[in-house]
Amino acid sequence: MQHISGFEAFLRDTVNLSQTKLDLLAIRVETIYSALKADPELGPLVLGKKRQGSWAQRTIINPVGGAEFDADFMLHLAEVVEWADSPKTYLDKVYAALHRHSVYGGMPHTRKCRCVQLSYANSMHVDIVPYLHLEDGREVIINRDDDLWEKTNPAGFTAWMQKKDRIADGNLRKVIRLMKYLRNHRKSFTGTRSIILTTLLGERVSEIKAVSEPGCYSNVPTALLSIVEDLDAWLQDRLAKPSIPDPSGSGVTFDHRWNQATYAYFRDRIHTHARQIREAYDEPDYDTSVRLWRNLFGESFPDLPRPTASVNPTTPK
Judged against a pLDDT cut of 80, whether residue 111 lies above it is answered with yes
HSE toward the beta carbon, residue 277, CA cutoff 13 A:
27
Q: What is the pLDDT of residues 55-71, one digit of tens each?
A: 999 999 999 987 889 99
Domain spans in the chain, listed from the N-terminal domain onward: 17-152, 156-297
* Contact between residue 260 and residue 240 where contact means Cβ atoms under 8 Å apart: yes
Integer angstrom CA distances of residue 224 from 52, 255, 316: 24, 25, 11
Confidence of residue 123 (pLDDT cuts 50, 70, 90): confident
Res 122: pLDDT: 79
Average pLDDT over residues 23-43: 97
> Architecture of domain 17-152 in CATH?
2-Layer Sandwich (3.30)
42-57: string of b/e by CB count within 10 Å (b at 16+)?
A: beebbeebebbbbbbb
Q: Structure pTM? A: 0.93
**Amino acid type, 281:** Y
